[in-house]
Amino acid sequence: MEDLEKLYTSSKIFVVIPVYNESAIIQSVITEIQLAGYKNIIIIDDGSMDSTYEQVSKNDVIVVRHYLNRGKGATLRTGIEVAKMLKADVVVTIDGDGQHNPNDIKKMLYLIWQGNDVVLGSRLFNSKGMPIFKIIANYFGNLCTWILCGLWVSDSQSGFRAYSKKAIAMINTRAERYEYDSEIIREIYRNKLKFFEIQIEVRYTNYSINKVSKMNIKNGLDALFKMIIY
């Protein structure tokens, strides 16, 4: 248990947040993560056109900026690259729109400490409050991921995940946009990584539901096409 306490307070836990035009909410997301006890925050600004970059730069966080918008997959790859350069032991990825609760990170760290390589946050273990079209879309995404990637998971499109050092060294992705989340599942399967799914709290606010650049039908079909072709 002493080891676990060490892990909780380790300076080698990095929280990676991909952001794109999140100026309205990003400050509260950073503050919430810091209050939960995580000081190593890596923000990857994916070419935001609003004041997101200026806002995040005011905080005690590591900020890296893509000067062109390259998509969620490319942004997370950059974030994980940064974490690797900083010799991270555990990398946690979390969305920048405030829908995830940073207090769930502790549960993820515990599961990594127990020997899992990847911990996947699942919104569908308890889908209460989740819009019905999102539930259907998620099940469809899970089905496609299962057919194309060979592994059934309850929430293949969740952005809240934790990776051990071994996992970040082994996972090798090429996906640039939303197909990234499914590609991670394929990498788990291909590299025979030990994974665990946990229920996470999701806060559906008007902001997170109405965000234009989030996964929608068009992005979903685009991701499916890329998964098949590439």
Partner 1 sequence: MIFYISIYKIILGLLSIYFIIEKIWRFYKKKQSLFKSFLMVVIWSFVFLFSFFPDITHAISKYLGLGENLNTLIFLGFVVIFLFIFHLLDDIEKLESDISEIVRKEALRGLNNIKK
What is the CB-side half-sphere exposure of residue 150 using CA atoms within 13 A?
8
* Residue with Cβ nearer partner 1 (30 or 119): 30
Q: What is the DSSP letter of 40?
A: -
SS3 (DSSP) at 41: strand
State in angstroms the smallest separation of the CB of 55 from partner 1.
Answer: 18
User: Cβ 174 to partner 1, closest distance in Å?
Assistant: 7
| Of 43 and 162, CB closest to partner 1 | 43
Please identify, using beta-carbon distances, which residue of 40 and 182 lies nearer to partner 1: 40
What SS3 class is residue 154?
coil
Tokens of 6: 């060490």
Asked if residue 153 lies in contact with residue 144, where contact means CB atoms within 8 angstroms, the answer is no
Tokens of 200: 């996470």
Name the one residue in this structure whose structure tokens are 């502790």: 106
**Min. distance of Cβ 68 from partner 1 in angstroms?**
5
Minimum Å gap between C-beta 196 and partner 1 is: 27
Nearer to partner 1, 53 or 139 (CB): 53
Decide whether 66 or 194 has the Cβ nearer to partner 1.
66
C-alpha pair distances (Å), 77 with each of 50, 82, 93, 202? 22, 9, 11, 24
CB of 70 to partner 1, least distance (A): 5
Cβ partners under 8 Å of residue 105, min gap 6: 15, 33, 36, 38, 92, 94, 162
The residue ranges that bind partner 1 (CB under 8 A) are 11, 40, 44, 62, 64-68, 70-71, 74, 77-78, 81-82, 85-86, 174, 176, 228-230
In the complex, minimum distance from the CB of residue 179 to partner 1, in angstroms, rounded to a whole number: 12
The residue among 127 and 219 lying less far from partner 1, judged by its C-beta, is 219
Q: Which two tokens stand for residue 40?
A: 């190593």
